[in-house]
Homo-oligomer: A and B are copies of this chain.
Amino acid sequence: MGATFDFVFMDPRLHTFTAADAGFWRIREVRGVTGQTLPGAGYLDVSAGMGPAGGQVWQLRGIRSNERYTTREEKAQLLQKQEGLGRAASTFAALIPIRKTEAWWQLSQDERREIFEGQSRHTTIGLRYLPAIARRLYHCRDLGDAEPFDFLTWFEYRPEDEPAFDDLVAELRASLEWTFVEREVDVRLER
C-alpha cells in the first residue's frame, strides 16, 4: 500500500473549499441562484485533503474524478484548447456548487449524456470559452450520504473576461440540463 500512499500524498484528488474570515481569495459575492444559498463570508481558501478543522463559516469538499460524459474526441479538443489553473493574469475566480434532482440520478447513462451534450451542448459551450475561462470539476455526491451538493466547479479568468463568464453560465442555465438543477450558488472571488 506504500505506492498508493505516495500517490495520494503527491496528488490528492480530494480538495476542501473553506469560507472564513481570512484566506487567499477574497469573496466578492455569494449569490443564491436556485434553492438555499450559502452564508456570506469574507474569504475562501482551497486546500488539498480535508482542510482546516475549525473556524470556518462554511466548508465544502469535492474530489476530482474520471469524466462521466466526455468522448475521446471531445477530450482531445478540451486538452488542446485549455490552459491550467494558477495563471498569473487570472485574478478572478468563481466557485459554483450545484445539486441535481433525484430524477436526474435515476436516468440511465445514455439519457444523461443525451441531455448533457445532445440537447444542452454542455461541453461545446465550455469549449467556446477556452482558454479564457479555466475550469476544474470536483464531485461530491459520492463522498457520503450527507453532502449538500453533487458538484463543485471552480473557474479562473482575468477580470476583463467576467462578462464572458457571465455569458457562459447564462447559456448553461438556459439549457435543458439545468431543469434538473435544484440547488445552485454562485460565489465570485478575487485574489
Contacts and interface: CB of A to CB of B under 8 A. Distances in A.
A12 B142 contact: no
Contact of A8 (B4, B143, B145): B145
Given A66-B105, A105-B66, A110 B71 contact: yes
Oligomer: number of copies: 2
Contacts of A36: 1
Contact of A69 (B71, B105, B106, B109): B109
Contacts of A13: 145
A75 B112 CA distance: 13
17 contacts: A1-B148, A5-B146, A8-B145, A12-B145, A14-B144, A14-B145, A65-B142, A66-B107, A67-B108, A67-B109, A68-B68, A71-B109, A72-B108, A75-B108, A109-B113, A142-B142, A143-B143
Interface of A: 1, 4-5, 8, 12-14, 36, 49, 63, 65-72, 74-75, 105-113, 139, 141-146, 148
